[in-house]
Amino acid sequence: MKKYRVGVIGFAHMHINSLVKDFVNLGDKIEWVACADLKPAIPSLSKKPSTRAHNIRNVMEMTKMTTLYKDYNQLLDEGDLDIAIVCCENALHGKVVSDILLRGINVVVEKPMATSMTDALRMVYAANEGNATLAVNWPSTWSPGIRLAHELTAKGVVGKVFKFTYRNSDSQGPFSYGENLTDLEKSSEWWYDARTGGGAFWDYCCYGSCLASWFIGRPVRAAYGLRANFDSPYGNAEDYGTITARFDDAVAIIEGSWTTVNSGVPSGPIVFGLKGTLVTDGNEVRVYNKRHTSTPSAVYHAEPLPEDRNNIAKEFIHHLETGEPLHPTLDIETNLNAMMILDTGYRSSISGKLEQASGHHYAPANL
């Protein structure tokens, strides 16, 4: 049995805990090597759950690793890694992931891919130069309901798609799940700092951008973006964002919110086609093909994902060992299309104008 030498780089994002847990559950398949963190722009004032200090302690306890490098390049020099799991600040993905890929080390990085199209293309170039695999992990990838919705859409149950909508479910920010950080403590967390890729735009609009790219299957042409801070005075990043993305023959409306007590309606995806509407509600998918009725024409229930490929660790190792493609939402092409939506929407949120997408005709295989 082949063992994979795995290192962890970056502890900014609390999703590092679930990512590492998935790999830990592979047992002896994984040989844990060492960790490295990056110096934060602002030192954290808290060690509560989901903060950097907690993430480091929890991951090292789970993996039994004892070495924490201050410089990730030293880990790359000495670690002889097969795989690096990266959860540094969003704005650092471009540099850190590219440095790793250029050394021929495979990378799993938590969503979003990056915070600019320039950085995303840099990462793809590095993957090709280093002949290494890059996977962008999305928690939504592991939703049976979303996969069923895509399957039904692809089968044409609602006809030609002209509108796609998605917003995150109930959320009042990254530390609203029992961590109980004070406003002062939040002010020191990268999540609320726009310079580091914090904010609801990069945290949540990214989901809709990835899913829109997968469901619509074509590059975006233009987008209008808006960002606002409604209830997070302890940071300069937005706690609400929205993107209206224009495709050749469809539109996507994407929202990301840290100010939603209860979403009230299914977050989606909701897909509008010329023959009906599809609503994803957890693991249930409802299709409406008749006018003037709230009764669905058909209701579908998603089956569990295949046991051998139902999380990022299993999927990634399966890909490395078989050469079979990664799930489309993890792969480079879908994520570049998602980054185009995010990049264009973000530029628009700054200019206040509809912005045209650029770089539609990149060729991932040739970068």
pLDDT at 365 over 80: no
| pLDDT at 358 (0 to 100) | 80
pLDDT at 360 over 90: no
pLDDT in tens, 193-230: 999 999 999 999 999 999 999 999 999 999 999 999 99
Q: What percent of the chain has pLDDT over 90?
A: 95
**Residue 327 has what DSSP assignment?**
P
How high does pLDDT run on average in the chain?
95
Q: What is the mean pLDDT of residues 319-341?
A: 97
**CATH code 3.30.70.1450 for 141-305+338-366:** no
pLDDT in tens, 338-358: 999 999 999 999 999 999 998
Domain with CATH 3.30.360.10 in the chain: 141-305+338-366
- Considering Cα of 337, then 100, then 109, then 242, what sign does the dihedral take? negative
| pLDDT at 363 (0 to 100) | 43
Domain with CATH 3.40.50.720 in the chain: 4-139+308-328
pLDDT in tens, 13-50: 999 999 999 999 999 999 999 999 999 998 999 999 99
How many other C-beta atoms can be found within 10 angstroms of the C-beta atom of residue 31? 12
Q: What's the CA gap between 251 and 218, in Å, rounded? A: 11
In degrees, to the nearest 5, what angle opens at C-alpha 262 toward C-alphas 186 and 224?
75
Name the fold adopted by 4-139+308-328.
Answer: Rossmann fold (3.40.50)
pLDDT at 1 over 90: no
322 burial type by CB count under 10 A (0-12 exposed, 13-18 middle, 19+ buried): exposed
pLDDT in tens, 84-140: 999 999 999 999 999 999 999 999 999 999 999 999 999 999 999 999 999 999 999
* pLDDT band for position 263 (cuts 50, 70, 90): confident
| pLDDT at 31 (0 to 100) | 98
pLDDT at 364 over 50: no
pLDDT at 12 over 60: yes
| pLDDT at 359 (0 to 100) | 57
pLDDT at 308 over 50: yes
| pLDDT at 118 (0 to 100) | 95
Which region holds residue 83: left if phi is over 0, alpha if psi is between -120 and 50, else beta? beta
